[in-house]
Amino acid sequence: MSQKTSGIQIFHGDNLDVLRKLAADSVHLIYIDPPFNTGKIQTRTQITTVRDDIAGDRTGFQGRRYKTIPVKSTGYADAFEDFPGFLRPRLEEARRVLAPHGSLFFHIDYREVHYCKVMLDEIFGRSSFQNEIIWAYDYGARSKTKWPAKHDNILWYTKDPENYTFNLDECDRIAYMAPSLVGEEKAARGKTPTDVWWHTIVPTNGKERVGYATQKPLGVLERIVKVHSNPGDLLLDFFAGSGTLGEAAVKHGRESMLVDCSAEAVQTMQKRLAKYQPQFTKIRKSRKKT
């Protein structure tokens, strides 16, 4: 395994095979954003627009009309017959490879978080549970039959409940809601976040968007990386998707290993992280032991 400063390794294959080959206690921080088992097809459609004053379905500058043309759709079926059975062996391996002072961040939503927390309590021990972080956002459609779901859940576990990396001074600070009540000095400095993190999703047409259906915001991952690891540490995401953890890691001087079974995800990561060459390590194809 390469230990080159700010190196990035990408593995294409079954993450369980990759995890079983890693040495125990070798990874300082793990963040995973597994499938949410929504029972739906997760897709993202790329579009382009052309000027069409007659059949246009969008209005642009000075009232000009444009027609939307789909370019391509990408995605995957997010449904499992036995979701806990799929996750458990991977989370058991995650605990094995985690360093003694390391942390696991498990990103999920309201549908499965309760079942996953019970399973993680069994694997890590209830005393190793540190926080449930609520990532809250306000974007998208509004349900008229129930309260709109506008948050994800991130469960934080440590391998050792008493000894773990937590560099609060490295955290980005947020504005006071009533700055006039705390004085100019405090207002200018801001305050550290709580366990509710307000952060927008990746905007559809934003510069950060890389065209992956379940891409997570870089700002959320940078907060985790800066506070829960140190420069030179090795970070792991074995449901790597668009590679957000890899970008957060390399920006802050950490190593990273990114694993995904999807060829689309690997191609997305390769394109996204290529700008960090020569630190970029070539893609490796995971092979099962025979």
Position 203 confidence tier, pLDDT thresholds 50, 70, 90: confident
- The pLDDT value recorded for residue 63 is 61
- Rounded to two decimals, what is the model's pTM? 0.81
- The pLDDT value recorded for residue 69 is 58
- Please say if the pLDDT value at position 47 is more than 80: no
Question: Which residue ranges form the domains of the chain, and what is each CATH number?
Answer: 8-39+79-285 (3.40.50.150), 43-78 (no CATH)
- Please say if the pLDDT value at position 250 is more than 80: yes
Residue 255's closest CA among 275, 274, 230, 282?
230
Q: What is the pLDDT of residues 120-151, one digit of tens each?
A: 999 999 999 999 999 999 888 889 999 999 99
| Residue 94, φ and ψ in degrees, nearest 5 | -60, -45
- Please say if the pLDDT value at position 94 is more than 90: yes
- Please say if the pLDDT value at position 99 is more than 80: yes
Q: Strands (DSSP E) along 118-271, which ranges?
A: 129-136, 151-158, 196-198, 234-237, 255-260
Q: What is the pLDDT of residues 219-229, one digit of tens each?
A: 999 999 999 99
Helix (H, G, I), strand (E, B) or coil at 289: coil
- The pLDDT value recorded for residue 74 is 45
What are the helix and strand counts (H, E) for the chain?
7, 12
| Residue 189, φ and ψ in degrees, nearest 5 | -80, -30
